[in-house]
Structure 1
Amino acid sequence: MSATKLITGLSEIAGEYDGLLCDAWGVIHNGRELFPGAAEALTKFRETRGPVVVLTNAPRLSDVIPAQLDRLGLPREAYDAVVTSGDATRQIVREMAGKSFYRIGPSKDDGLFAAVDIELAPLSGADAIFCSGPNDDETETPEDYRGLLTEPAKRGLPMVCANPDIVVRYGDKLIYCAGALGQLYEQLGGKVLLGGKPHPPIYELAKARMAQIAGREPSKLLAIGDGIGTDIKGANAQGIDCVFVADGIFAEAARKDGKLSGDKLAQALDADGVHAEYAMDTIAW
């Protein structure tokens, strides 16, 4: 397998691809502000090469994401569609019709819980757990949930995890996501069901949406992400070439003396058994 090629912008490789799947948090923005160069890079690819689908592990349905991107300053001309882990999770829940769920998730995810249309129940009477993230992601850690989750894991209750991400960078700090609680639940012996990256359901939805936009299936897709265990692993599993962006949660692991390092990046990727065809400091055209 060839070494990861370090690039400075998408223009160096865009000619080989006619469709783009781009992660949002950690690539386009940090939760508070848009990264410089993101809007231009996506817009230029869309204008010159083909459709751009924002592929995010956000535990929300895709129809609410464009308004969030608007507030961060990303123009609608920069992308064609959004596909979320929330979309893929709703598909999983539909296959569990008739089951009641114990809710774990903050009030900001009320829209998702309403959209998936599940029956909520106390933990003692629930058939499963639906987790969109910690109830307070600014202060809580997975350890705060060990006592709560130990007993249902032993009982064999499945957990539907609406966001496979372990952490995301929010501004200048890292916050835990639903994936961290799912990871703990598996450690306790529980079964976790996931639809977002790196799992197939979200890619199936994204490919179908892209084919609908283009009127055909793109001949060669490119994926961009900052998550080694989600974006890169998922792209590898789908046979999609990928660009690792070192501006997100693995920024320190991929850099030496503040600069993107091929050796450091190789170590980080090898540790997870994945490969990226390309890498760049931050998304740019």
Structure 2
Amino acid sequence: MPLSNAIAIRSDQHAKYWFDDGSVIVTIRRTLSGRDPEEDTVLFNLHSSLLARHSTYFGRVLKGPGTDEGGVKFMSLLEHLYHDTPLSSKSPFNHVASILRVSSPSQLDFPGLHALVRSYLEAMFPSGPFPFTHPDHLEEALALTTTYDVRSIRKGIYYSLVTTTDFETEEVEVGVQGQELNKRENNLENGQGGIVEDSKTRHSVLSPADVERCGKLMAGIVDHFTPILFTPPTTPHMACTDVFADKWMSLVIPSAISDGGVYKPLETLEFIKQLDWAAEGLCPACVREKREEWTEEQAVVWDKVDSWLG
């Protein structure tokens, strides 16, 4: 924005990111209901060389006439660029998600930073069957993977949603939610070079399409894993087969039922592998053979998730 206009509302200068030696003023207008838009304007006096060096967007804009840009909260981006809160493998999800949005080609276009933060997002979510953990922020992470085409972790997020959540739209009306998502997507696509809020990746409930995929995944898991779970294994040795027949119902089934193990095949198989079968009477060869089979079954389940998702 023109410097003369900035001087007129200097009271809104950001406390940390207004540098006396800055060479470009960025205006961020916050959209708070019931407030005068001008009262909700924050000014940042930044260094044009730093912005242009890392951002294709700023490199283009700073060559032309000054413009008023608003909408996106890019505090996380500034904290990284000025080394106040740089990205690392220990960065919290919200910090990573904010920078992923702001650095994307559809917003401020920091290619190198976008690739870096994308790798940190991928590292937060498991992409294989063992060991398998379930991070937080699953719904928002899924929306980010859709918007920014991060395919490597989508399968794991769907699996976590099915095994740890109800994967419902909760109290959001499907029709209204769909209209809002379409509106937000259109706003993002039609930003015409300006900074626009990518809030469509911030909703904490799933889209109807994702709810449907989760339902298909659960159905596929249950159909596949139920007979495996409720059928005691056999072995080449009759004595070891008898151990499974005697112990399977008491050692495996109660825990699987109480913990919903029928739709958590990776975790249930891992639990079965960790049981002390030798202490129950299995010979060492059968213990080794069955644990290998259960590990192979984890890989089979993981491979089938793709087809179950559709």
Q: Same fold (TM over 0.5)?
A: no
- Tell me: higher relative CO, structure 1 or 2? Use CA pairs within 8 A at least 6 residues apart: 1
- Would you tell me which structure has more strand in proportion to its own residues? 1
Give the alignment's TM-score, normalised by structure 2: 0.28
- Would you tell me which structure has more helix in proportion to its own residues? 2
